[in-house]
Amino acid sequence: MQTTNASTDPHGQRDIIVCKNLEKHYSRGGETVRVLESINLTLQRGAFVALMGPSGSGKTTLLNLFAGIDRPTAGVLHVDGQDLTQLSRAQLAQWRATSVGYVFQLYHLVPVLTAYENVELPLYLHDISRAERHARVSEALESVGIADRHGHYPRQLSGGQEQRVAIARAIVTRPALLLADEPTGDLDRVAAASIMQLLSRLHRERGQTIVMVTHDSSTATHAQRLVHLDKGQLVEDVAVRA
């Protein structure tokens, strides 16, 4: 894989995401749908960013491009020092395994695996010993406060607990970037608040870079920076706190 020089901001913080004139188009019924148009955005390492906007504004598509699970139609996209447009399918998969953790709105845990096994799953792609694997899984489960449920299957957990396991699965590989697509979208108010506190703590204590998609303004208050999209275009980019 070819590594590019990531830019550095005036405070010496390395940029983790750099996109220039980023475009994403789909062809549907012979018609081109422009999901993202000329997105120019730079996110710093250690930031907690919320991508906001109404349904269909392109925020999940942008998150998917950051995660390397979708490819841009045009433009430049560097994530964690890697030009994602230049990677093959296999290289992209390998890059995802090491650089990105992804939290889904609907958790997407493997139903026939326990919480422990779900968290352990991505580590099988890493060349580490069984003992190291065990240590990392235990640490991840501990850090999301679900260690006592490690032997439970997803069907035996509440929505909030499932999302905690999903977050543990996302951070167990110690990725540079944690992406979350509406992480509280399927949870009640109390569970949602608990998950946001967890993400805030991970950001605060570990310096974890987090990019989160949400359309809920109260959820977005946990972020340092709000990026608003509308009809595929970046319409507002504000820093709400340091």
Partner 1 sequence: MRRRPTRSALVLAGVAVAVFLFCTVDTMRSAVERATQKSAGETALIVYRQNRFCPFTSQLPQSYENAIGKIPGVASVTPVKIVVSNCRASLDVVTFRGVPPQEFAATHSGSASAQDMQSWLSRGDSALIGRELAQRRRLKAGDRFTAAGVDAFVAGIIESDLPQDQSSAFVHLAFLQEQAKRGGTGGVVTQFDVRVKDPAQMDAVAQAIDERFAKDQSPTTTRAETAHVARAATDVIVLVGFAQALGIAALVAVFALVANAIVLSMRSREKEISVLQTLGFRGVHLATLVLLEALMLGGVGGLIGASASYAVVALARTAMTMEGVSIAIAPSLVIAFIGVAIAIALSVLAGIVPAIIAARQTIVAGFRS
Complex with partner 1: residue 63 or 226, whichever CB lies closer: 63
Of these, 53, 72, 75, 122, which contacts partner 1 (CB under 8 A)? 122
**98 counts as binding partner 1 under rule CB under 8 A:** yes
Report the candidate in 109, 106, 119 with the shortest Cα–Cα distance to residue 187. 106
Complex with partner 1: residue 123 or 198, whichever CB lies closer: 123
- For the four alpha carbons of 80, 84, 87 and 88, in that order, the dihedral sign comes to positive
Complex with partner 1: residue 18 or 170, whichever CB lies closer: 170
CB of 44 to partner 1, least distance (A): 24
Stretch that binds partner 1, among 67-75, 139-147, 202-210, 216-224 (CB under 8 A): 67-75
**70 counts as binding partner 1 under rule CB under 8 A:** yes
- Spatial distance between the Cα atoms of 171 and 175, rounded to a whole number of angstroms: 6
CB of 69 to partner 1, least distance (A): 4
- Spatial distance between the Cα atoms of 139 and 88, rounded to a whole number of angstroms: 33
In the range 160-199, which residues lie near partner 1 by CB under 8 A? Answer: 169
Binding site for partner 1 (CB under 8 A): 64, 67, 69-70, 89-90, 93-98, 102, 104, 108, 110-112, 121-122, 125, 169
